[in-house]
Amino acid sequence: MPTKQIEKEQHSYSFLFSICSIVTNMREYGEMKQSFEKCGFTENCEYLIADNTAGNKFSAYEAIATFIKRASAHYLIVVHQDVRCIDNQEHLIECLKNLTGIDNKWAVCGNAGSMGYHEERFYLDDVGKEIKTQGLPAEVTSLDENLLIINRDTNLTLSADLTGFHLYGTDLCLVADFLGYTTYVIPFMVKHLSPGNMEELMAYKNTFIRQYGKKLRGRFVETTCTKLYLSNSERKNILFNGWPFFSFIKLLQRIRFRWRHMVSKNHSHKTVKRKANTFQNLI
């Protein structure tokens, strides 16, 4: 069989931008699309929709994951149908070029987000109120979903264990962080016509917290070669992987292992056989 040598991945795209929307109202979507076309998003662009006009066929998480798989462009612009574009394509290209020059590890950017307590960053017309933060682009840990721009070079996706229509911007930012990428607010202006459904967001918040509680839990990990403890705390990781704490953690794991095998009907056994070296005579 021939051996094929791989090269560092170089992506090839048919378009620069894929403008992607979850649509519940075709008239409203048409107005959004027309606003982007007027701002020059015609050349080197494609438009994709997840059609929810007859019901919620797609959750936001499912739709965006599908957009990422099916799009043919370098950048995905995931935009609400109630957004109207103000800045033009040339301005966005310049924003992304500038951002890449500052940080070529960026995975997602948008026009509104936060870096922490009362550290919001904005650049949008929000229900008739224009808000502009100085010093953009600025790194953030969460992004608002009215406009998200995803860099497909990063192979980013969303959590498979989340669904619904809220906090997917935050999920994208967290997944990007886990993968070693960054997220930003950039100075690209659009007009957002509605404030969103805060009641539904608050109802969904506990589900999001519960699922991320599982992801961020402390855990004992055993590979075929070593053992370690991982948590969401750098101090815990240092402390619990040193003596005597790691010895205590291993003791607890040993007790759990024995207890599981006492109560389980399906025992797993490992057998080891020493075999003759059949290749010895070939050397």
pLDDT of residue 267: 57
- Same domain membership, residue 246 and residue 161: no
- Same domain membership, residue 19 and residue 121: yes
Q: Do residues 76 and 67 make contact, with C-beta atoms less than 8 angstroms apart?
A: yes
Cα–Cα distance measured from residue 252 to residue 260, given in angstroms and rounded to the nearest whole number = 12
Q: What is the amino acid identity at position 237? A: N
- Same domain membership, residue 192 and residue 236: no
Whether 282 is in a domain gets the answer no
Whether 177 is in a domain gets the answer yes
Residue 242 domain boundaries: 219-263
Distant-in-sequence, close-in-space partners of 108: CB < 8 Å, separation ≥ 6:
143, 148, 149, 150, 151, 156, 169, 172, 173, 176, 181, 183, 184
Counting the structural domains of the chain, the total is 2
| pTM for the model | 0.86
pLDDT of residue 48: 98
pLDDT of residue 19: 98
Whether 3 is in a domain gets the answer no
Task: Give bridge partners of residue 65 from the DSSP assignment.
Answer: none
Long-range contacts of 95-100 (CB under 8 A, 24+ apart): 95/137, 95/186, 95/187, 95/188, 96/149, 96/186, 98/137, 99/137, 99/184, 99/186
- Same domain membership, residue 232 and residue 206: no
Q: Give the total residue count for the chain.
A: 283
Which ranges in the chain belong to alpha helices (H)? 26-38, 60-70, 89-102, 168-178, 198-215, 234-240, 245-263
- Tens of pLDDT along the chain (283 residues) come to 899 888 877 788 999 999 999 999 999 999 999 999 999 999 999 999 999 999 999 999 999 999 999 999 999 999 999 999 999 999 999 999 999 999 999 999 999 999 999 999 999 999 999 999 999 999 999 999 999 999 999 999 999 999 999 999 999 999 999 999 999 999 999 999 998 888 888 989 999 999 999 999 988 888 989 988 898 888 888 888 888 877 877 788 778 777 877 777 665 666 777 776 665 555 5
Question: Closest by alpha carbon to 149, among 36, 59, 10, 28?
Answer: 36
* 223-254 pLDDT per residue, tens: 989 988 898 888 888 888 888 877 877 788 77
Distant-in-sequence, close-in-space partners of 169: CB < 8 Å, separation ≥ 6:
108, 110, 113, 142, 143, 144, 145, 148
pLDDT of residue 278: 61
Three-state DSSP at 83 gives: strand
pLDDT of residue 4: 86
pLDDT of residue 265: 60
- Same domain membership, residue 154 and residue 20: yes
pLDDT of residue 251: 80
Q: What is the amino acid identity at position 276? A: A
Three-state DSSP at 143 gives: strand
| CATH code of 210's domain | 3.90.550.10
Whether 40 is in a domain gets the answer yes
Distant-in-sequence, close-in-space partners of 103: CB < 8 Å, separation ≥ 6:
139, 182, 184
